[in-house]
Amino acid sequence: MDETSFSELAQRHQRELHVHCYRMLASYEEAEDAVQEAMVRAWQRREQIEGGNVRAWLYRVCTNVCLDHIRRMKRRPITGTAAEVAWLQPYPDVLLDQATAAEAGPDSAVVDRETIELTFLVALQALPPRQRAALIARDVLGWTAVETAEALDTSVAAANSAVQRARATLQTRLPERRGDWTAPEAGADELDLLARFIRANDEGDADLALSIAAEDIRITMPPNPMVFDGRTALEGLLARAFGPEHGDWRLLPTRTNRMPAAASYLRQHGDTIFRAFKLDVLRVDGDHIAEITTFGFAHFERFGLPLELPA
């Protein structure tokens, strides 16, 4: 295979491979590095492609690069909440759609909501790396036990055991409705909650914000290791955010990880424009917001979001 043919092949699969590495690592930026390293390895070993399943082979290379990365970073499985996953980053839906559209036919890379939500990604970080890789291969990519064992260079029995242990762990960490790893598509109720969340922030309406929050709402702010649990904690955050010393807010709706989100802009006193401030990702449960994961504005560019808004 010549360099041009290999480049075309790599480009065709690059976005879905990036999503795969993202599931393994939970970091958009680290996934980018992993895919680049995997493409170098793949080129160096390109003679192995001949006569094989190219897509599966590239996934195998990426998986092993991710396992090496986790070892280098000395990351242990988490035991608590998203606050432990300091490296967690959002993945814009507009880019996930590129992975879905990259392929046609039986190997089409569909990025299902239940396999990319932040809740699922955090739960994956509780698994030992090889269990994580085995579960993604079987339950996300739909590989057979034999294909999974080959990718991890282990026996079928060992691969099956890893998947069983991984499934048992995830069932203890995912919300009850997610026990079978299915999640509903965005509906009118979810969109309505996002609209009310935006209105509450735009108008500084703490009562409205509290009314759409679940009693046991949880707020985390990666990479900061802080956790805020319950409406009382949220009330304290709102008092500061809507306080006279802050300024005015303007929010724009967006989506990330197949979840509703809002990009927040702050106009401080004396300023003439709204400046990018944060990204709130909402996990909706029924008719309330169950969880808010807040990221910094450094991610706005890949969402196609401006850094400033006119007053």
Reported as a single tens digit per residue, the pLDDT across 142-193 is 999 999 999 999 999 999 999 999 999 999 988 764 444 445 556 778 999 9
pTM (2 d.p.): 0.92
Domain boundaries, the chain: 3-178, 188-310
**Chain centroid, CA 242 distance in Å:** 29
Output 238 or 3, whichever has higher pLDDT.
Answer: 238
Q: How large a percentage of the chain has pLDDT more than 90?
A: 75
User: With contact defined as beta carbons under 8 Å apart, do 94 and 253 qualify?
Assistant: no
Ranking 1-10, 70-79, 206-215, 246-255 by mean pLDDT, the lowest is 1-10
What angle (nearest 5°) sits at the alpha carbon of residue 116, between those of residues 185 and 299? 105
Q: What is the rounded distance in angstroms from the CA atom of residue 70 to the CA atom of residue 25? A: 8
Question: What's the CATH architecture for 188-310?
Answer: Roll (3.10)
Reported as a pLDDT band with limits 50, 70 and 90, residue 309 is very high
What is the overall mean pLDDT for the chain? 90
DSSP per-residue string spanning 27-90: -HHHHHHHHHHHHHHHHHTGGGTTTS-HHHHHHHHHHHHHHHHHHHHTPPPPSS-GGG-TT---
Ranking 102-106, 127-131, 246-250 by mean pLDDT, the lowest is 102-106
Over residues 186-241, the pLDDT tens digits come to 677 899 999 999 999 999 999 999 999 999 999 999 999 999 999 999 999 999 99
